[in-house]
Structure 1
Amino acid sequence: MHEFPRPGQADRARLPLPFWVRDFALIRPAVITFIVTAGISFTCVLASHLQLGQARRDEQAAHAQRDAARSRFLYAESEKQEIRAYQPLFVDLRRRRFVGMENRLDWVDAIRRISENRRLLPLAYEIDAQQPYKLESRLATGDYQLRGSRMTLHMDMLHELDLFYFLGDLRQHGVFTVEQCTMRRAASTEAGARPAVLSSDCTLNWLTLTPGPRTGGAAR
């Protein structure tokens, strides 16, 4: 028993296939090649983009390292210039026993020798314990600490210049400040001794720049 096709069914069966379906076998290699090439190209573009970003980050890191190296170089050059400028002063301050640890024995010996050389009348003095010395204005001392020892001095004098000569000679053996100094006529002296015309009472502050705690030095 035969079935007859319905109306229009035969016509639909005879419709030609689209060319891109019918002839796909002809372009299949080209399509595959295109897809592979596109994938490779996309991968290359993506890799290039990532590599470019990494290269820019490396460039920024290199610039940062260059700037840091330049800053260290400039800082080192600045330190060299400061050393060349201040080294003579530093050496002179060390020679004058301002930089370093306190040396009271040198002060005591200097006072004795000055008194003998100047043929001064007997004098009396007392040196207190060393303490941190505070200035009115802030002073940058780096790794060092400014310390002072107060000395009270009493002198009987034949002339007012005895005091100035004594202080002038004493400055060759250290750095100190004169906090105060009073001068008055001396009282009568014992018989047989050289009569003192004047007497003075002074307060001095012996100063030393000693290594601070950061450099391992201990103030005495």
Structure 2
Amino acid sequence: MNAAATLPGKKKKPAVTIAVPYWVREFALIRWGVVSLAASVAVGVAAVVVSNAQLRDASATRTHVQQVRDAAYARYADADNEKREIRTFQPQFLVMRERGLVGEENRLSWLDAIRRIQEERRLQPISYEIAPQQPVALEPGIASGDYQLHASRMRLHMDLLHELDLFNFLEDLRARGYFAVQDCAIKRLGANLNQADAPTLAADCTLNWLTLTPGAPAVGVPFSSRSKP
């Protein structure tokens, strides 16, 4: 007996038909186009990401190059300024070094200058004593570069025929070295009428001989440069 046979008295139900959208039925025609589009979009997105990364790297590189260029230009400008300063101040520097301000302390030169001035001016005997050299602290805002200012204090006594002997002596001494007069006091002596060249005055002065020596600035006590002739 055939299983597919229809039982008597029953009718066969018609098959259910489902309507499929046309774009589904025809997707097979465009599937390769869709795949190509998706691949193109993926490649485009990747290209944008890579381009942005390269742009950031290029911007960072440009910033670094500009910083290096600016630093090089600043060094060049500093070197050019130093050259101009050397040309401007070198003659003065050589004069200061020749007169003993720049370099190591030369006390023999100071004493020789005092002796020569005394002989040339025919002054009364001069006595002096020099204290140990000390660093000098400069006032804020005064730049000494790579040099440290030092001072050696000299206490000087001289007899005078008149006040001009002291002024002439200090003027001649200043032309042969660098010093600052800290204080200077003059007192009158009892005149000896029997001697024409007898001293009538006596001067006691404190001088600070100055030298600039290479080295970092040190902490010191500023000295006073008051003058009381």
TM-score normalised by L of structure 1? 0.82
Judged with a 3 Å threshold, the aligned counterparts in structure 2 of structure 1 residues 25 and 135 are, in CA distance, closer, same or farther, namely closer
Code of the aligned partner of 1:11:
V
CA drift of 1:7 comes to 4.7
How far 1:192 sits from its partner (Å)?
8.5
Q: Is 1:90 the equivalent of 2:93?
A: yes
Given the alignment, which residue of 165, 169, 182 partners 1:166?
169
Further displaced range: 18-27 or 107-116: 18-27
2:23 is aligned to 20
User: Residue deviations 1:11-62, cap 9 Å, x none?
Assistant: 23xx354333333332222222222222212111111111112112222222
Give secondary structure in 1 for the equivalent of 2:124: coil
Deviations 1:121-144 (A, max 9, x none): 211000101112245665211211
CA deviation after TM superposition for structure 1 residue 112, in Å: 1.7
Aligned partner of residue 105 in structure 2, secondary structure: coil
The letter of the residue matching 2:29 is L
Gapped runs of 5+ residues in structure 2? 218-229
Q: Deviations over 1:68-90 (max 9, x none)?
A: 22322333333333333322222
Q: Aligned letter for 1:2? A: A
SS state at 1:173 partner: coil
Partner of 2:125: 122
Output the CA distance in 2 between the equivalents of 1:193 and 1:75.
Answer: 65
Which one is further off, 162-171 or 22-31? Answer: 22-31
Moved more, 199-208 or 180-189: 180-189
The whole-number CA distance in structure 1 between the counterparts of 2:146 and 2:165 is: 39
Residue-pair matches, total = 210
Match of 1:149? 152
**Unmatched segments (≥5 aa) in structure 1:** 215-220
Quote the residue 1:11 is aligned against: 16
**Aligned 1:37-186 pairs, distance under 5 A:** 37-135=40-138, 138-186=141-189
Structure 2 CA distance for partners of 1:22 and 1:136, relative to 1, 3 Å: closer
1:29 aligns with 2:58: no
- Does residue 195 (structure 1) correspond to residue 176 (structure 2)? The answer is no
Report the Cα distance in structure 2 between the residues aligned to 1:136 and 1:72, rounded to whole angstroms. 29
Q: 1:71 to 1:213 in 2, by over 3 A?
A: closer
2:64 maps to a residue whose letter is A
Instruction: Work out the CA distance in 2 between the residues paired with 1:200 and 1:173.
Output: 21
Are the counterparts in 2 of residues 149 and 206 from structure 1 also a CA contact under 8 Å? yes
Q: Is the 8 A contact 1:156 1:186 kept in 2?
A: no
Residue matched to 1:206? 209
**Distance in structure 1 (CA, Å) of the matches to 2:132 and 2:177:** 17
More helix by share: 1
Using the aligned pairs only, state the percent identity: 49
CA offset at residue 6 of structure 1?
7.8
The offset of 1:153, in angstroms, is 0.6
Residue 204 of structure 1 aligns to which amino acid in structure 2?
L
